[in-house]
Structure 1
Amino acid sequence: MIEAFEKLSLYFTFPFVRYALIAGTLIALCSSLLGVTLVLRRFSFIGDGLSHVAFGAMAVATVAGFTDKMIIILPVTLLSAILLLCTEKKVKIKGDAAIAMISIASLAFGYLIMNIFPQTSNVSGDVCTTLFGSTAILTLTTTEVIFSAILSVVVVSAFIIFYNKIFAITFDEDFSRTCGVKVTALNFLIASLIAVIIVLAMKLVGSLLISALVIFPALSAMRLAKNFKKVTIISAIISVLTSLLGIIISILFGTPVGATIVAVDVIVFGLSFAFGAIFNLN
């Protein structure tokens, strides 16, 4: 135990470790806020679909030689999120089918493009790092951390300002519309926030594991509380703590950051489920 603390103390002296913890905390907080809304609206899988869209956009940006890949990734992911959330009731391909279609197509085309136009000699390694996060979170620059902080402030601020309206459309979109709530505009806002979260989370857990960051804290919180506000707060606390613990474990034992965070999330969900069942909270 003493050796572990000494090792952590040593690692904390390195800027890249502090950057990883800061970015990880911010991303986890943002993911948890909208996670509850997405789960309740039966859009739990949207994070996975959009993450694959982001992967495809990243592949195109890489092949095109963009230094700042966010120029491509963020707008493409944003557009896809808007199409999925804002037009869900106006198209013939509904909900999970649309998400699955976009997810599979983006993942396949992204991988195909990276193989046809390889930028390095280790395409498989590049793909693995993008999909599973690997140690990408430990290579963040100061600029990327500042960018993450700015976007995180935007997401949290928007959620707090529009909390009541987000709560309303989460449970009854049609009734909210009759009460004068601008549902389309709010769906646009939620879609935009989700897109930002997906782009931020890519380096933390990778494209394939982003859904876990959105879903598990929300599901764990739902085992412990029934009030929407309490569930949201508990979800945020769980998400931040599990992300920090996952990053620390990854640093100590050299495990992949993304997979470690998800493993911790799964364990916490199991404990929350058991706790809720024992004390009849479910």
Structure 2
Amino acid sequence: MAAVMTLFELEFMQRALIAGLLTGLAAPAIGTYLVQRRLSLMGDGIGHIAITGVALGLLTGTAPVLTAVLVAIAGATAIEFVRARGKASGDVALALLFYGGIAGGVLLIGLAGQGAATLNTYLFGSLTTVSPTDLWIVVGLAATVLVVAVGLSPQLFAVCQDEEFARVTGLRVQVLNVLIAVMAAVTVTVAMRTVGLLLVSALMVVPVATAQQVTRSFRSTFAVACGLGVTACLAGIITSYHADVAPGATIVVLALAGFVVAAIAGTVIRRRRGVAPLADEEPEVPVPDPAPHVVSASHAHGHDRDCGHPAIKHGDHVDYVHDGHLHAAHGDHWDEH
């Protein structure tokens, strides 16, 4: 008990735990949208370019967290515009982030006269380096990410699920895509003190993947992922303090352990219920009540368990939600209602 009290009486641990709490909420919150867009590695790419921002701060003598935020936002926005205009595919755009970011960071770190030890505190996280100034920046940035991620969840989900449909409904798809990229960049810099820039992508993705093993809707996945992120961060920080190991690696290992447990539990639950897992399930779009089918003259999009559209049990068959309608295959034609 005395050891526990000593842990929470240390000012640097208080700051680390608060930063971990906010990181555990913000990273899975934006990670849910990245997974929905199938851009799970985007956080990793932004983490690499944020290294350049950290090095720039060390070189100029300014706060590395602030310069990392600005550089990460600029890089993520530029890559999103490149991707949207078709000048480079998504994986090529991420490769530009990977290579350019790490090369620029190493070059500037050398010019700043800083050693590998300084860089490692940002790459893998460090409990003792969370200063009061850093904490206030983390609080402000994390709060902004959470407000946007929750407040604009219907619009962001619509863009992540089907850009063309979102555009037809009048949503400003390009603006929302850039907003997701900016939030991802901000989240990376929020997490770099606790998880580290090289491991932040894992905290964005692993809790979401874990939640998907046991949930059936986007909304529940979002909530469970945030809960898992907070649990992994706080448990990892406390464990790393007692074991004297890197907090980022500890947090990610605990998150991965949670995924293994959830995957096993989810498989057992689905087998008992006889239900197949549904990835990227759609929660925000109203689903019409089952009604008599109408034969559809043409239907360009085929549906199956891996098509990405929510499956709805309807009598002796399965309907798929698509563009606000329920579609079902019947013999040689498609019905919709």
Same fold (TM over 0.5): yes
Aligned to 1:196: 186
| Residue from 18, 26, 33 that aligns with 1:30 | 26
Q: Is the counterpart of residue 43 in structure 1 residue 39 in structure 2?
A: yes
AA at the equivalent of 1:157:
V
**1:215-271 superposed Cα distances (whole Å, 9 cap, x missing partner):** 100100011112000000000000001111101111111111110001101100111
AA at the equivalent of 1:109:
G
% identical equivalent positions: 29
Aligned to 1:150: 140
Q: Is the counterpart of residue 212 in structure 1 residue 212 in structure 2?
A: no
Whether the 8 Å contact between 2:40 and 2:201 is mirrored in structure 1 is: yes
**CA shift at 1:67, angstroms?**
2.5
**CA shift at 1:90, angstroms?**
0.8
| SS at structure 2 position matched to 1:205 | coil
Q: Is the counterpart of residue 96 in structure 1 residue 91 in structure 2?
A: yes
**1:188-210 superposed Cα distances (whole Å, 9 cap, x missing partner):** 22122111111111111111111
Q: Which has the higher helix share?
A: 1
Larger Rg: 2
CA distance in 1, matches of 2:64, 2:245: 27
Equivalent residue runs for 1:49-60 within 5 Å: 49-60=45-56
Q: Is the counterpart of residue 16 in structure 1 residue 8 in structure 2?
A: no
Question: For structure 1, which segment, 153-162 or 211-220, has the greater mean C-alpha deviation from structure 2 after superposition?
Answer: 153-162
Whether the 8 Å contact between 1:8 and 1:252 is mirrored in structure 2 is: no
Q: Which has the higher strand share?
A: 2
Aligned to 1:162: 152
CA distance in 2, matches of 1:237, 1:18: 20
Whether the 8 Å contact between 2:25 and 2:230 is mirrored in structure 1 is: yes
Aligned to 2:113: 119
Q: How many residues align?
A: 272
CA distance in 2, matches of 1:191, 1:235: 19
| Residue from 172, 180, 185 that aligns with 2:170 | 180
AA at the equivalent of 1:72:
T
AA at the equivalent of 1:148:
V
Aligned to 1:72: 67
RMSD: 1.5
**CA shift at 1:158, angstroms?**
1.2
CA distance in 2, matches of 1:245, 1:164: 32
CA distance in 2, matches of 1:153, 1:124: 31
Whether the 8 Å contact between 1:61 and 1:72 is mirrored in structure 2 is: yes
TM norm structure 2: 0.77
**CA shift at 1:28, angstroms?**
1.3
Inter-CA distance 57–160: structure 2 relative to 1 (3 Å threshold): same
**CA shift at 1:143, angstroms?**
2.4
CA distance in 1, matches of 2:30, 2:252: 18
Aligned to 1:257: 247
**CA shift at 1:69, angstroms?**
2.6
Whether the 8 Å contact between 2:189 and 2:197 is mirrored in structure 1 is: no
Q: Is the counterpart of residue 222 in structure 1 residue 212 in structure 2?
A: yes
**CA shift at 1:92, angstroms?**
2.5
AA at the equivalent of 1:96:
D
Inter-CA distance 267–202: structure 2 relative to 1 (3 Å threshold): same
**CA shift at 1:62, angstroms?**
1.5
Q: Which has the higher contact order (CA 8 A, sep 6+)?
A: 1
Q: Is the counterpart of residue 106 in structure 1 residue 98 in structure 2?
A: no
**CA shift at 1:11, angstroms?**
1.3
| SS at structure 2 position matched to 1:91 | coil
**CA shift at 1:35, angstroms?**
0.8
Question: For structure 1, which segment, 159-168 or 89-98, has the greater mean C-alpha deviation from structure 2 after superposition?
Answer: 89-98
CA distance in 2, matches of 1:52, 1:124: 15
**1:166-198 superposed Cα distances (whole Å, 9 cap, x missing partner):** 111111111010001111121122122111111
Whether the 8 Å contact between 2:50 and 2:68 is mirrored in structure 1 is: yes
**1:125-161 superposed Cα distances (whole Å, 9 cap, x missing partner):** 122222111x2x3322222212211222111111222
In structure 1, list runs of 5 or more residues that go unmatched. none
Inter-CA distance 129–71: structure 2 relative to 1 (3 Å threshold): closer
CA distance in 2, matches of 1:69, 1:60: 7
AA at the equivalent of 1:6:
A
CA distance in 1, matches of 2:189, 2:215: 29
